[in-house]
Amino acid sequence: MSQERIESMMDEKRHFAPPADSRGRAHVSGEAAREALVRRAAEDPEGFWGERAAQLIDWFKPWDTVLDADMNEPRIEWFKGGRLNVAHNCLDRHVAGNRRNKAAIIWQGEPEEDVRVLTYQMLYDEVRRFAAVLRKMGVHKGDRVSLYMPMIPELAVAMLACARIGAVHSIVFAGFSAVSLQNRIHDCEAKVVVTADAVLRAGRRIPLKVNVDEAVRQCPSVEKVVVVNRGSLEVTMEEGRDLWWHEVMADRTLDVDRPCEEMDAEDMLFILYTSGSTGKPKGVVHTTGGYLTYAAHTTQWVFDVQDDDVYWCTADIGWITGHSYIVYGPLALGATSLMFEGVPSWPSPDRFWRIVEKFRVNIFYTAPTVVRALMREGTDWTERHDLSSLRVLGSVGEPINPEAWMWYHTHIGKGRLPIVDTWWQTETGGIMISGLPYATTLKPGSATQPLPGVDAAIVRPDGSPAGPNEGGHLVIRKPWPGMLRGIFGSPERYRSTYFERFPGMYESGDGARTDTDGYFWIMGRLDDVINVSGHRMGTAEVESALVAHPSVAEAAVVGMPHAVKGEAIYAYVTLGADAEETEELRAELRAWVRKEIGPIATPDVLQFAEGLPKTRSGKIMRRILRKIAAGATSEFGDTSTLADPGVVSDLIEGRLQLT
Ligand code: 6R9
């Protein structure tokens, strides 16, 4: 059986043609236009990227060369000799132009009544002020500033203020522990930390400043801590080190009129830590000219952002998605970016739809895990809101299984909206593989095709190109402007992680295959691919089949060692509200997968679970699930990113043996 049947499952039959560009203003309109751009970018990459950089970005001084690179070394320089400032591009030029009174950020706080609208002028004034505060504290060009903050406008202000003076920000997601924060501050030797007293989340006030106090004790580099009052929680302020945001911003002696720092295109813009295959997080480095060009370029084409749109990306700014698609991309374009402090499920599962209706959101970008969670709550919640303002939907972070795709399309997109499934990584800086809303025929579950100018390919372990439907390593064969330029402090790790295995190519670490139409199907991290009796199978494929069953809300599948097959399949299944955990259902689900994909995909073990271990960004931690499946329940490695540690002990208790 098998290989063909797995492939036929991946070969989704459903196709969705792009909607007509009836207003005649889409940035890329029609498949032919897209194809022409793909050809143009392939024939003359430097011409293509140079043109986009000139169209989208204001340069104080033009570049001497578009690209000077060698991916073997690696040495990557985009727009060398060019000079610019990111904050100038996101603010100053819009204020000087005609967007002074346009909303830059619409902020919806956790409490429904907490709404702030910052026009470009208002944001510009705040940023200039905080830039002056940082300067006064002795922060210079190249110095690092750690931001450990809730989703409040001050976070965007602090980012842009760093960019304005040429300081490098390192944002640490506010859900990380004191230890994780300490490691990150320590690694980049931050001079200043910006934080808040508390995070408001699902009706609770979670102390935040205490974690900074704990972290900074071991970080001699930190001279000042600036604290935003978000929750009026009592905090201890250390004399000489800690300062209130509202007090430093009220300082009348601040020099707010200093011009932006002129940065070189390859000067560092930010560091963002992400987990790798080893325990120590990697400080991914992004630079100025290439990153901003790429963020603006992809925001414009992938979401088709228009000047009058309200655009909403639901990510947290603590992740790369928030950096590129809440702050830098949209603001570089002069768009209106909605920022939300709360969670999708509180006070009720229609929070997102309430916000869409309230602000007449046009573009909505979220994660599959959110879609599946909301899907589980039923459509009563979606139906009570007017979602007719929506025009484009997006997905990011993990493969979106066809079932969730269809629910998103039917109940949020009302059967008519395009869904851009965007594949990319912290390291890529921006979207790499995705449909364009008015130019790509979509297949549920596929990220579709590489963007124009992105030379993505699937290769075999020896680096040779894989054929259609042959799973392999997803690599990028040509440099792109948004690519990472290093791992902070570890040039050797940078080289060996991304550029060693396949000489001259960037190794993403993901497995994927292309179908006969050249569409990309991401199979997940390569360590999530399991080999059952010599058959290569993406755990995502089995999960997708399980989730297609009406009783299943969510599923995670891992390999477990097996004496005969090499690996056996262990499935963790979370049921929908109406389903019951019975032996009948367990048998039915195994039979279901067998029917959907084939006998080799049948889970050998199927454990019902109340919840799955997830990172705070919503990614399932398969590493932990693999350990539990294998019966190795003591050594879980770094669990600091786990959203709810209680889930793990429940899973260990419910662990099943192979029978
Ligand atoms: C942007 C972001 C990167 C990893 C990546 C891949 C997975 C992201 C995906 C996707 C399938 C998509 N991933 N988008 N898998 N389809 N549309 O999430 O960055 O946090 O660094 O994660 O996420 O496995 O390698 P990051």
Going across the sheet that includes 115-119, the strands are 115-119, 103-108, 336-340, 310-313, 363-366, 392-396, 419-422
The b/e string for 215-247 (b: 16+ C-beta within 10 A; e otherwise) is: bbeebebbebbbbbbbbebebeeeeeebbebee
Q: For residue 566, how many other CB atoms are within 10 A of its CB?
A: 14
- Ligand 1 atom 1, closest CA: 425
Picking from 203-207, 247-251, 628-632, which range would have the lowest pLDDT averaged per residue?
628-632
Report pLDDT for 528.
Answer: 66
Report pLDDT for 8.
Answer: 42
Q: Cβ(397) to ligand 1 under 6 A?
A: yes
Through-space distance between the first and last CA atoms of the chain, rounded to whole angstroms: 23
Q: Which CATH number fits domain 533-654: 3.40.50.620, 3.30.300.30, 3.40.50.880, 3.40.630.10?
A: 3.30.300.30
**Rounded to the nearest 10 degrees, how much is the dihedral formed by the CA atoms of 539, 542, 548, 550?**
-110
Q: For residue 483, how many other CB atoms are within 10 A of its CB?
A: 26
- Ligand 1 atom 15, closest CA: 398
Report pLDDT for 4.
Answer: 41
Q: Is the pLDDT of residue 649 over 80?
A: yes
Q: What is the mean pLDDT of residues 425-447?
A: 97
Q: How far is the CA of 437 from the centre of ligand 1 (A)?
A: 20
Report pLDDT for 9.
Answer: 44
- How much is the mean pLDDT over the chain? 92
Mutation probe of ligand 1 site: the residue of 446, 510, 527 with most atoms within 8 A of C-beta: 510
Q: What is the mean pLDDT of residues 412-438?
A: 97
Q: How far is the CA of 353 from the centre of ligand 1 (A)?
A: 25
- Ligand 1 atom 16, closest CA: 399
The encoded tokens of residue 453 equal 């100018």
Q: How far is the CA of 424 from the centre of ligand 1 (A)?
A: 5
Q: Please state which CATH number belongs to domain 23-450+458-513.
A: 3.40.50.12780
Report pLDDT for 400.
Answer: 87
Report pLDDT for 276.
Answer: 60
Q: What is the mean pLDDT of residues 125-132?
A: 98
Picking from 60-69, 404-413, 616-625, which range would have the lowest pLDDT averaged per residue?
616-625
Question: How would residue 175 be classed by pLDDT, with cut points 50, 70 and 90?
Answer: confident
Q: How far is the CA of 422 from the centre of ligand 1 (A)?
A: 8
d(CA 426, CA 285): 10
- Ligand 1 atom 12, closest CA: 423
- Alpha helix (H) ranges present in 189-313? 209-216, 245-249, 289-303
Using alpha carbons, select from 613, 608, 614 the residue that is nearest to residue 590: 608
Question: How would residue 2 be classed by pLDDT, with cut points 50, 70 and 90?
Answer: very low
Q: Cβ(519) to ligand 1 under 6 A?
A: no
Q: Is the pLDDT of residue 113 over 60?
A: yes
Contact between 490 and 282 (Cβ < 8 Å):
yes
49-61 pLDDT, tens per residue?
999 999 999 999 9
555-610 pLDDT, tens per residue?
999 988 877 777 789 999 999 988 999 999 999 999 998 877 777 788 999 999 99
d(CA 496, CA 452): 27
Q: What is the mean pLDDT of residues 298-322?
A: 97
d(CA 360, CA 336): 12
Specify the 3-state DSSP secondary structure of 421.
Answer: strand
Q: Is the pLDDT of residue 526 over 80?
A: no
395-424 pLDDT, tens per residue?
998 888 888 999 999 999 999 999 999 999
| ipTM attached to this prediction | 1.00
Q: What is the mean pLDDT of residues 476-489?
A: 98
Mutation probe of ligand 1 site: the residue of 294, 423, 487, 619 with most atoms within 8 A of C-beta: 423
d(CA 442, CA 421): 9
List the chain domain ranges.
Answer: 23-450+458-513, 533-654
Which of 235-249, 527-541, 560-574, 643-657 ranks highest by mean pLDDT?
235-249
129-150 pLDDT, tens per residue?
999 999 999 999 999 999 999 9
Q: Is the pLDDT of residue 279 over 70?
A: no
